[in-house]
Amino acid sequence: MNYQQTIAYLFSQLPMFSRMGSAAYKNDLTNIIKLCAVLNNPQQHFKTIHVGGTNGKGSVSHMLAAILQTAGYKTGLYTSPHLYDFRERIRINGMMVDEQFVTEFVENIRPHIEEIQPSFFEITVAMAFQYFAKEKVDVAVIEVGLGGRLDSTNIIHPDLSVITNIGMDHENLLGDRLEKIAKEKAGIIKQNTAVVIGERQSFAELIFMDTAKKLNADIVFATDHFKVVAASWNHEGSEIKVEGNHVIQSYQLDLQGIYQQKNLVTVLQTIAALTQKGYRISDQHVKHALKKVMKCTGLGGRWEQIHASPDVILEVAHNKDGIQQLLNHLQHLQFSRLHLILGMVKDKDVNEMLALLPPDANYYFTAAAIPRALDANELKQKAAGYQLMGDDYENVNIALKKAMDSAAAEDLIIVCGSIFLVAEVNRVNI
């Protein structure tokens, strides 16, 4: 198979969560353990940092990878899902995995794929581990896919675990209470391995502390040591001032969302923990890397501006907490009228998100081209119950064209509600 045939095989033949939802989710680690055993357990041949949580884990992973590679470490980065190119999931020093490696990897283990019957995600995790081992990375930042305890990435023994925060997401798989979700996320805490928790949340902190105590894992809450004292934004990014150890430092980020304040605090505490473990990372490495995270690692879709006058923003917020952070950020911006292009998936609590959205915005309801997507007309009907009015459109690009035709230069257009919706935006013709 050539590369395109290989990707088609992966997308069409294997159970894929983004396409199928819970039917593709494996509730144990059997398959990934078997796959990695076939490959000689590549995950044991390089250092790792494991990053989980409900929101912010992708941004935190990218920020950490940018800092580590700026500090001179050959750094692997595994994240999911991808926006535009499958190879975004697996990077070394910002460069995507080679097409040839993807093709050869799948071809070589195809007999084992037929025997083990793994999911798409399990294959990509094994592929990442093999690539990082082959290329002899110094360290790899590994983002949890879903949950923690039973996530396929959870066979690593990291130098450090990180949990950003806990919120309601994937309730059908992780539990319908925040405490249940926290227990699943706490599953990445390992024996004798330090863990950084991004923020104190009353319903979760005792769960994390109890788990860490049982496993003899040092635990630290980032917000106990770092506090944001000021923040501002412009089209180039943001400036965030943070107090830590009674000293205030200013950080320039090429990332804009207001939620990056929380993520920055988590990252700073993680770097402090890594330096205690012997990693050589200076304040200058941190500051230099944060100015160019998107350039270093290819991060996209986090309050990403792709057009001006009117401003068009891509934002992968796709759960209640993410939408709330989006709305918080809007309060700091100047614009005339808000246009929201909205698409969601069936297995999210759509009503919780719709209840937060402002009735005075213009709405354009649409759906990503995946079976999990909520029908655009059905979303429109649900939204009407919350006085959110607008028309439905066949796809996100038709909706975006309509919004741009309708918007004045001083208006703001945001595409949000689903990572997969953002991924289908055609940036070339905007």
Confidence of residue 175 (pLDDT cuts 50, 70, 90): low
- Kindly report the backbone phi and psi dihedral angles of residue 8, in degrees, each rounded to the nearest multiple of 5, phi listed first: -60, -40
Residue with tokens 């950490």: 64
The pLDDT of 363-381, averaged and rounded, is 96
What pLDDT is recorded for position 182? 94
- Give all domains of the chain, ordered by start, each with its CATH number: 3-297 (3.40.1190.10), 304-423 (3.90.190.20)
Q: Which tens digits make up the pLDDT trace of 238-259?
A: 999 999 989 999 999 999 888 9
146 pLDDT above the threshold of 90: no
22 pLDDT above the threshold of 80: no
Contact indicator for 90, 131 with CB cutoff of 8 Å: yes
What pLDDT is recorded for position 14? 73
Both tokens of residue 135? 């290329």
- What is the rounded CA–CA span in Å between residue 114 and residue 103? 16
What pLDDT is recorded for position 15? 66
Cα–Cα distances (Å) from 352 to 14, 132, 251, in that order, read: 31, 40, 34
Q: Tell me which amino acid residue 192 is.
A: N
Burial of 287 (0-12, 13-18, 19+ CB in 10 A): middle
Give me the helices (H) in 277-319, please: 283-290, 293-297
The pLDDT of 62-71, averaged and rounded, is 98
Q: What is the 3-state secondary structure (H, E, C) of 368-430?
A: CCCCCECCHHHHHHHHHCCCCCEEECCCHHHHHHHHHHHCCCCCEEEEECCHHHHHCCCCCCC
Confidence of residue 234 (pLDDT cuts 50, 70, 90): confident
Q: In terms of residues, how long is the chain?
A: 430
The pLDDT of 39-45, averaged and rounded, is 98
The pLDDT of 84-105, averaged and rounded, is 97
The count of other CB atoms within 10 Å of the CB of residue 242 is 19
Residue of 419, 415, 428 whose CA lies nearest to 311: 415
What pLDDT is recorded for position 211? 98
What pLDDT is recorded for position 147? 86
DSSP state for residue 345 in the 8-state scheme: B
Contact indicator for 405, 380 with CB cutoff of 8 Å: no
- Kindly report the backbone phi and psi dihedral angles of residue 30, in degrees, each rounded to the nearest multiple of 5, phi listed first: -55, -50
DSSP state for residue 223 in the 8-state scheme: G
- What is the rounded CA–CA span in Å between residue 117 and residue 14? 8
Residue % of the chain over a pLDDT of 90: 84
What pLDDT is recorded for position 347? 82
- Radius of gyration of the chain measured on its C-alpha atoms: 21
332 pLDDT above the threshold of 80: yes
21 pLDDT above the threshold of 60: no
172 pLDDT above the threshold of 70: no
168 pLDDT above the threshold of 90: no
Residue with tokens 């863990």: 195
- What is the rounded CA–CA span in Å between residue 207 and residue 177? 13
What pLDDT is recorded for position 24? 54
Both tokens of residue 278? 């012997």
What pLDDT is recorded for position 349? 85
Mean pLDDT of the chain: 93
174 pLDDT above the threshold of 70: no
- What is the rounded CA–CA span in Å between residue 183 and residue 202? 14
Give me the helices (H) in 135-221, please: 171-174, 178-185, 202-214
Residue of 244, 146, 226, 224 whose CA lies nearest to 187: 146
What pLDDT is recorded for position 173? 54
The pLDDT of 147-173, averaged and rounded, is 87
340 pLDDT above the threshold of 60: yes
Q: Which tens digits make up the pLDDT trace of 71-84?
A: 999 999 999 999 99
